[in-house]
A and B are shown apart, each in its own frame.
Chain A
Amino acid sequence: MARFANGKAPFLRTSDAKNSGTGVIMRDFMIGLLPVILFAWYKNGIKVFIEGNITFLEMLYPLIFILLGGVLSTLFEGLYFYITDKNVRNFKTLGQKLKVSYAVIPGLLLAMVVPMYTPIWVLMFGAFMGTIVGKMLFGGFGNNIFNPALLGYVAIGFTMLGVIGNAGGVFNASEVLIDAYGGATPLGTLAGTKVIDYDTLVAPYGSLWNFLLGTIPGALAETGSLAIIIAYIWLSIRKVIKWFTPLVYIGTVFILSWFIGMAAGDAGIWFPVYSILSGGLMFGAVFMATEPVTTPRNPLGKVVFALFLGVLTVLFRYIGNLPEGVGTAIIVMNIFTLPIDKMTAIIRAQGIKKSTIFSALGLAAFLLILMVYAIIKAGNVYSAFITFVPFIKGVF
């Protein structure tokens, strides 16, 4: 008679295979980030170097900066584990622990969404806020409510904006030279001029192609829409992210922006395209709104989540007093992940019933009112120079 091991069904797990589970998700995610990182390096380093504006070492700076972000958050998390847990005070277990808690990602993402020439100590502060406050104090990976990278980003944004501005400027060497109000980002231009007009918003940066390619002023990696789209396709195929979350999010912003453009008197399709290609929307939609821990788990929840993100982003962008609203919108919606999860799980289990139809209608009405409010309000703000309702103007 032999005594065998105990275990729980099922005795087959995909996570037991050599090439599966954590390692693969991590690897695929990194491969997804690669085009975006490379583009950031090209745009802020290589391209500027070729133009002859910076030295060779300065050319390497963007790449080093992004990698430094990853190193910083890993260090902070390692330090946290080392201090709080006696059992992981050796190199091997510590390394394993950092690997399964994806320690490198928050810092990496953070470094990609902050402006060029952000002082290192500010990046450190952001990584600390994201990793220690946003992640570890909530109980570590899997228990955090807010997206750690975004929490770091918001922390920097609310406290250090002036510091970043003073420390050698927000833009890379060649961006400063762009003939758009001394190198403002497209959304900055919109917030500054309050005019929805192709010649003001797009023409100074070349054309919308430049928006797609990403050769416009903006944070390190967020402008490279094409690189992000490539990453999106890769991550969707590898099933690291759900393909529809970014689509719903960006689609909502697209449609709302179109209406706002119309309300402000310009119904051209260029405006919604401009809206989705500028700022951090693409980056946020693909890398932040799909972050599994802090966003709803089931498909219906993801759709509701993405819809609200779209509406909130538009609200914050056009009505709030910051030029960009993606980060804030995602942080706000992170709070609602738990209730959305709970409600959608019940709907999924019970099927569609009378009560669910009522609550769905209520939710839809709420969303609709928010949307209409955003359109009218933003339309009003941005029609200061162009006639809001031409017909009424004509009468007077």
Chain B
Amino acid sequence: MILRKAKGIQIDCYKQMSKESPLHEHLNPQFVYIPLIQQTTALKRTVEVGDDILIGQVVALREGFGAMPIHASVSGKVSAIKKVWHCSGKMVDAIEIKNDLLQRMDDSIQPEADTTHFTREELIEKMKQAGLSGLGGAGFPTYVKYQTKLPIDVVIINAVECEPYLTCDYMLINAYPEKLLKGLHYFMRAANANRGVVTFKSYNTHVKEVLQPLLVNYPGIELKEIKDIYPAGWEKYVVQQVTGKTYEGLPAEAGVIVDNSATAMVYADVVEKNIPLISRVITITGEGVKNPRNYYVPFGTPVKELIQLSGGYTEGLDPAKAWYIAGGPMTGRAILIDDLIVSDTLGAVIVKPMPEDKTHPECLGCGKCADVCPVFLTPTEIKRAYETKDVELIKKLNAQKCMACGLCSYVCPSHIEITDFVGKAKDLLRKGA
């Protein structure tokens, strides 16, 4: 249709480089730094410098909306409170724990003999106590989604991973396929849903091969292939592909809860072994890293260690002419100092030499940005409205619907920072309203 066309486009994926070597475990860094921030909420610290810490012990609390505890990822001593670079691009306070390498567990970490008797409320309470939050990138507290009063028919596992370069979800599923189905099974029970769907991208046939034989033990769970386009991992797109329904605010309006695959796998451990959310898989990749690969690490691990394990930066890499990107290349953030720590929403670090400088023309007016926009905005008009500071017009142009997928800048032949302009327009709207 001329008015509202095309959802997403195919883009280069660059995933092969980090798929080649297997998932690497790096469980004992010398120090970990637990950042005192979750999403944009500052956390309340509950331990002091010098305290003895066990794995799984509560070290901080998120209060207010989405209140939940945050746990230690290694055992040892709190050695300092330090400022560290967080993947949000800010410096934040963090609890430095010196690892004693003994892996002493908190008493709460006990395997459950029988998980069949848990009620819905108990399952949701377990999410909360484990500090479970979305590992896909938004970091939204999982239990809040399951507390919905709306009836839920389907739980969808989003393993689409449409960002280029990233393979952390893919590698984790291939390593522990059964865990994913277990996690989804518990999610379905926590939502009172009969149907569970694992969505994956069409070229990831391996995911299908490892999951298909296991499905017999998990009634109600099915697989769903998603077209290889960007942004196929967008929640609204996934829900629309699986159920055919659309919604305005939350997926629950369409009777759906969507969770990232890594979150589901952590949840399997939460229910069966009472291990809280303390670790994740992160992809260290990019043309600027010698041996790109995926690491399974406790939260708070310095990324520097992982890059060293990957053989360091490639020879001749000039940091001043390279990007150090936290997150995927489409929505991630350039970090200026390579002193990042692993936290719940950090799926990847990409080191990528900058492309050569070219002279680019002014906006051609080709309209490609409008063509590709998955939420049917016209970015050029929003840019124009932003430049004249016309808040009323920005509102009419629905700038607030932009999810910063980055496609408009991606396709722009004139190399205009059009995504950034729409972002600024959104900020203006927030301030103006």
Contact with B along A297-327 (1 / 0, CB 8 A): 1111011000000000000000000000000
Nearest A residue (CB) for B366: A292
Known interface pairs A21-B358, A303-B2; A293-B336 also in contact (CB < 8 Å): no
Contacts of A298 in B (CB 8 A): 367, 370, 378
Complex contact A4–B362 (CB within 8 A): no
Complex contact A11–B360 (CB within 8 A): no
Contacts of B396 in A (CB 8 A): 346, 349-350
The answer to whether the Cβ of A79 comes within 8 Å of any Cβ in the partner chain is no
Complex contact B2–A299 (CB within 8 A): yes
Complex contact B3–A10 (CB within 8 A): no
Complex Cα–Cα for A3 and B228 (A) = 35
Of A35-43, A97-105, A225-233, A257-265, the one touching chain B: A97-105
Of B39-47, B65-73, B250-258, B321-329, the one touching chain A: B321-329
Complex Cα–Cα for A344 and B339 (A) = 46
Q: From residue 360 to 417 of chain B, which have CB atoms closer than 8 A to chain A?
A: 360-367, 370-371, 376-378, 380-382, 393, 396-398, 401, 404, 406-407, 409-415, 417
Complex Cα–Cα for A143 and B362 (A) = 8
Contacts of B382 in A (CB 8 A): 345
The answer to whether the Cβ of B116 comes within 8 Å of any Cβ in the partner chain is no
Complex Cα–Cα for A8 and B415 (A) = 11
Of A12-20, A200-208, A377-385, the one touching chain B: A12-20
Complex contact B364–A292 (CB within 8 A): yes
Contacts of A2 in B (CB 8 A): 313, 319, 337-338
Q: In whole Å, how far is A12's beta carbon from the nearest beta carbon of chain B?
A: 5
Q: In whole Å, how far is A366's beta carbon from the nearest beta carbon of chain B?
A: 20
Label chain A's interface by main secondary structure: loop
Nearest B residue (CB) for A302: B367
Known interface pairs A1-B339, A8-B417, A101-B361; A15-B412 also in contact (CB < 8 Å): yes
- Candidates B324, B367, B410; contact of A14 at CB < 8 Å: B410
The answer to whether the Cβ of B330 comes within 8 Å of any Cβ in the partner chain is yes
The answer to whether the Cβ of B335 comes within 8 Å of any Cβ in the partner chain is yes
Contacts of B360 in A (CB 8 A): 15, 21-22, 100
Q: In whole Å, how far is A314's beta carbon from the nearest beta carbon of chain B?
A: 23
- Candidates B2, B329, B336, B365; contact of A11 at CB < 8 Å: B329
Nearest B residue (CB) for A15: B415
- Candidates B359, B404, B409; contact of A13 at CB < 8 Å: B409
Total contacting residues, chain B, CB less than 8 A: 67
Label chain B's interface by main secondary structure: loop
- Candidates B322, B376, B413, B419; contact of A15 at CB < 8 Å: B413
The answer to whether the Cβ of A58 comes within 8 Å of any Cβ in the partner chain is no
Complex contact A299–B354 (CB within 8 A): no
Known interface pairs A9-B332, A21-B358, A348-B4; A16-B415 also in contact (CB < 8 Å): yes
Complex contact A10–B361 (CB within 8 A): no
Nearest B residue (CB) for A299: B2
Complex contact B352–A292 (CB within 8 A): no
Total contacting residues, chain A, CB less than 8 A: 55
Contacts of A24 in B (CB 8 A): 413
Complex contact B364–A347 (CB within 8 A): no
Complex contact A13–B323 (CB within 8 A): no
Contacts of A143 in B (CB 8 A): 362
Contacts of A244 in B (CB 8 A): 2
Contacts of B92 in A (CB 8 A): none
The answer to whether the Cβ of A75 comes within 8 Å of any Cβ in the partner chain is no
Complex contact A13–B2 (CB within 8 A): no
Known interface pairs A102-B361, A142-B362; A11-B325 also in contact (CB < 8 Å): yes
Known interface pairs A9-B404, A14-B413, A347-B3; A141-B361 also in contact (CB < 8 Å): yes
Contacts of A10 in B (CB 8 A): 329-331, 406-407, 409-410, 419
Nearest A residue (CB) for B286: A11
- Candidates B320, B338, B397, B413; contact of A21 at CB < 8 Å: B413
Q: From residue 406 to 433 of chain B, which have CB atoms closer than 8 A to chain A?
A: 406-407, 409-415, 417, 419-420
Complex contact B323–A4 (CB within 8 A): yes
Complex contact A5–B354 (CB within 8 A): yes
Q: With A8-B420, A242-B367, A352-B3 given, can you name 20 additional A-B contacts, CB distance below 8 Å?
A: A4-B336, A5-B322, A5-B354, A6-B334, A9-B330, A9-B331, A9-B332, A10-B329, A11-B350, A13-B412, A15-B360, A25-B366, A100-B359, A100-B362, A101-B361, A292-B365, A292-B367, A298-B367, A299-B2, A348-B370
* Interfacial residues, chain B to chain A (CB-CB below 8 A): 2-5, 11-12, 164, 313, 319-325, 329-339, 350, 352, 354-356, 358-367, 370-371, 376-378, 380-382, 393, 396-398, 401, 404, 406-407, 409-415, 417, 419-420
Q: What are some 11 contacts across the A-B interface (CB < 8 A)?
A: A2-B319, A4-B320, A8-B334, A8-B419, A10-B419, A11-B330, A11-B350, A21-B360, A96-B359, A348-B4, A348-B377
In the A-B complex, the 9 residue pairs with the smallest Cβ-Cβ separation, listed nearest first, are A142-B362, A10-B406, A345-B378, A349-B398, A16-B355, A100-B361, A345-B381, A297-B367, A2-B319
